[in-house]
Amino acid sequence: MSNFFAFAPIVTRVAPTTTTAVDVFDGAIIRIWGFTVSNITAGTVTATVRTNETSPTTIWTATILANQTIVVPISFIADKGLEVVDGTGSALSFTFMHSQVGS
């Protein structure tokens, strides 16, 4: 398997502190090369990545076990921006590998 993340010139980390949705890219068009989600607590947590719109669409959701990291090597274009949701707050760290759409 090739390294999908090698194409990403920009890395953005987001660590929500509450269960409120947190903007990763506010309405900007961005090319996502993949992302990781780490559960940094001793409990199971639900992680959600969704569009950054008034009525968001869920792009990806998963239950992540304690002290586990999930690697999602799926590339896509987020034309409405992205936001993330931490099911319990202060439990997850999201890391996005991305670039501008033309790159």
CB 87 within 8 A of CB 37: no
What pLDDT shows up at residue 6?
Answer: 66
Sequence ranges of the domains in the chain: 4-99
pTM for this model (two decimals):
0.89
Mean pLDDT of the chain: 90
Residue type, 18: T
The whole-number average pLDDT for the span 91-99 is 94
User: pLDDT band at 27, cuts 50/70/90?
Assistant: confident
Give the domain 4-99 fold. Answer: Jelly Rolls (2.60.120)
* Strand pairing class (45-51; 81-86): antiparallel
Least confident of 45-49, 60-64, 73-77: 73-77
Q: Please give the pLDDT value at position 9.
A: 85
